[in-house]
Homo-oligomer: A and B are copies of this chain.
Amino acid sequence: MSPKITTELLKQLRQVMKSPKYVQEPVQAYIVPSGDAHQSEYIAPCDCRRAFISGFDGSAGTAIVTEQHAAMWTDGRYFLQAAHQMDSNWTLMKMGLKDTPSQEDWLVSVLPEGSKVGVDPFIIPADQWKRMSKALRSAGHDLVPVKENLIDTIWTDCPQRPCKPLITLDLSYTGVSWRDKIVALRSKMAERKVLWFVVTALDEVAWLFNLRGSDVEYNPVFFAYAVIGMNTIRLLIDGDRMMDPAVREHLQLDSTLEPEFKIQVMPYGSILSELQAVGAGLSPKEKVWLSDKASYALTEAIPKAYRYLTPYTPICIAKAVKNTSETEGMRRAHIKDAVALCELFNWLEKEVVPKGTVTEIIAADKAEEFRSQQKDFVELSFATISSTGPNGAIIHYKPVPETNRTLSVNEIYLLDSGAQYKDGTTDVTRTMHFGTPSAYEKECFTYVLKGHIAVSAAIFPNGTKGHLLDSFARSALWDCGLDYLHGTGHGVGSFLNVHEGPCGISYKTFADEPLEAGMIVSDEPGYYEDGSFGVRIENVVLVIAAETKYNFKNRGSLTFEPLTLVPIQTKMIDVTLLTQKECNWVNDYHQKCREVIGAELEQQGRHEALRWLIRETEPLSRVQ
């Protein structure tokens, strides 16, 4: 990795920061956040503005450029990468270290009195704007919205915004028609007494209309907004995608419909004027519902008195609770995914042990190849983490030629991967040893497994928030002085984003929504020994009702059912560290893998993988 030379680019940026063509008054600093206009976690190449200006292309980072300085804030995952990718024009601001100033404090320390700080109002979320603006104002500066994105003005070979064809999903996948979703949304709007709801998150637009796209890698979404009124539906989307007969049929664009279900298609770029028109037409007590993470530009389009902001939108909450069609789809997707992984692990065992020719990249590619053989495969759901030995200790590792190691019988191999199938999204991590693991490696693996089981088998009351389960995953590690520095689980979409709100299992959050039956989350505790190895055991699990002996206050109880059905390598387990209950859990789980995945392997005629599965699911026996 050699750093990107940015001297000329920064010079150009500093010029446009003063150019009356783009700014009313010169700005003394310009902020380049990571995100896109939809606050997406994964972004399209045309939105990688921070990477363009700095060279640093990690998933999190904010660049600020002033007359004299260029600084990049990022977190501990990316200190090394950012240092490698950026040239000497840039100062790396290591977030989380005691002496690193906040962006606000740094700006105040370097700016001349009464400065203007510019930012693209479509990229910065309203809550961040508020915080930053307040801090700057109290030091005599001003945060100002710069309508035209200044990076775009100098990015001559900026890729086009993707505009790929859409996929329509019928009822057998979605369970609920888009019309019924609109009806349910309007009833939530009526409950809260709001007249309009603005859909800004890409996965929420996709879910609402039962459409999928491929504008962003790994996330089957497309660039669009929607504005839903009590009697109107506006879909703001570009390109000729609305000319596709299947899409027209799906959205009933050419049918005679009740007016309240007639979809008005408008250009993607007209969202601001559209919202301004909505805002201008409001009478007192008429409210517009937006996510509090929507961009400053869209939030400001609605006069303050008319805004109704919530951390989670009604679509976000409805989307998280999967219906029967969706859970059945997720089950099918996980069965196919397990078939692919059984094939992979069987292949690795044959290839790795005798030949020593398989690298992390080859293994990742092979995993994708096996997945792509499965029905309704669309793409991967995130960049495969294929890591062996010390690379396994890098939590967000992605193999590249510079770091690519060869799998061997001497190192632990960690594979965290998943796919998008038309019927569901998968995300699974398995940690294996192809030789003989050390007692210490087995010990650590077993603690992680105990944590995985503690969450998976937990019974808890309806209404419990996921963050309250996080400690269950850590207890066995804590007992020995060990821990891991990431959350235990995230929400998973149904043929949608592999990370979605509003639920999860993490000590870092508090404002998560309570778990309820039908929600789907990951259960993925780990342990990472720097420079040595990493262990993580991840299943995607479905929240289901639990039968309990009693039923306090008639609240009902919940538990989890694993959707992921891939053997957990018993060779890595120190059985003496398991309780009888834990041992039974492993055996029951493996029995289910054998039955369900075994039948599918049989049906697909994958006999070698089936033999591997049978061997890997032999019951443990616990010496008393």
Contacts and interface: CB of A to CB of B under 8 A. Distances in A.
B461 A483 contact: yes
Contacts of A469: 471
Contacts of A471: 460, 468-469, 471-472
Given A458-B478, A461-B483, A579-B579, 11 more contacts: A459-B479, A459-B481, A461-B478, A465-B507, A468-B471, A471-B472, A472-B475, A477-B552, A480-B549, A481-B548, A481-B557
Interface string A391-419: 00000000000000000000000000000
A552 B459 contact: no
A120 interface: no
A154 to B, nearest CB: 39
Contact of A548 (B475, B479, B550): B479
A353 interface: no
Nearest to A558: B478
Interface in A530-551: 546, 548-551
A98 B548 CA distance: 28
A453 to B, nearest CB: 13
A247 interface: no
Interface residues of A, number: 33
29 contacts: A138-B305, A458-B478, A459-B479, A460-B471, A460-B478, A461-B478, A461-B481, A461-B483, A468-B470, A468-B471, A469-B471, A471-B471, A471-B472, A472-B475, A477-B552, A478-B557, A480-B548, A480-B550, A481-B546, A481-B548, A481-B549, A481-B550, A481-B551, A481-B557, A482-B550, A483-B552, A483-B553, A483-B555, A510-B510
A95 B480 CA distance: 44
Contacts of A465: 507
A507 B552 contact: no
A579 B555 CA distance: 28
Contacts of A549: 480-481
A459 B471 CA distance: 11
A536 to B, nearest CB: 15
A305 B550 CA distance: 56
